[in-house]
Amino acid sequence: MEITGKIVEIFDEQQVTNTFKKREFVIEYADNPQYPEFIMFQAIQDKTAMLDSINVGDSVTVQFNLKGRKWQSPQGEVKYFNTLQAWRIGKPQTDGNNQDPFHSDVPPPEIPDAPSEIDDLPF
């Protein structure tokens, strides 16, 4: 998934356990400028460093995964949690050529046209 917006807050990195760290940030998403949305994301582990080159006020495109989990308390109460886990952050291109800022000029892999090339697969 992908969204573009303006960074409004970047929080400090948190070392949650000896082996897990996260860093949260908020973007303002103004699909409808009259009613902007403020959306919190988190970057985990080595992805926390992505935010080192980003500043509050920057326009960014965030690529992320939607994560959800179920948790049950010792008393049996069930709760559900959602997380927007960022895995790439970049500044959108504004030079008007509408190229995707996350892809290079490397051409896509070739897909064989002939059925005989496809039938050679071992499975």
Query: Which run of H or E residues covers position 115?
Result: helix 115-119
Name the region of 49 (left: φ>0; alpha: ψ -120 to 50; beta: rest): alpha
Other residues' Cβ atoms within 10 Å of the Cβ of residue 6: 15
Query: Is CATH 2.40.50.140 the classification given to domain 2-93?
Result: yes
Nearest to 13 by CA among 46, 58, 39: 46
**Least confident range of 23-27, 75-79, 104-108:** 104-108
Burial of 85 (0-12, 13-18, 19+ CB in 10 A): middle
Query: Which run of H or E residues covers position 15?
Result: strand 14-17
Residues 81 and 72: their CA atoms lie apart, in Å, by 11
Domain boundaries, the chain: 2-93
Tokens 């002939």 appear where?
A: 114
> Which two structure tokens, joined as six digits, stand for 117?
């090339």
Global confidence as pTM: 0.70
Judge whether residue 98 has pLDDT over 60: no
Judge whether residue 92 has pLDDT over 60: yes
> Which two structure tokens, joined as six digits, stand for 122?
């071992």
Q: Provide the mean pLDDT of the chain.
A: 84
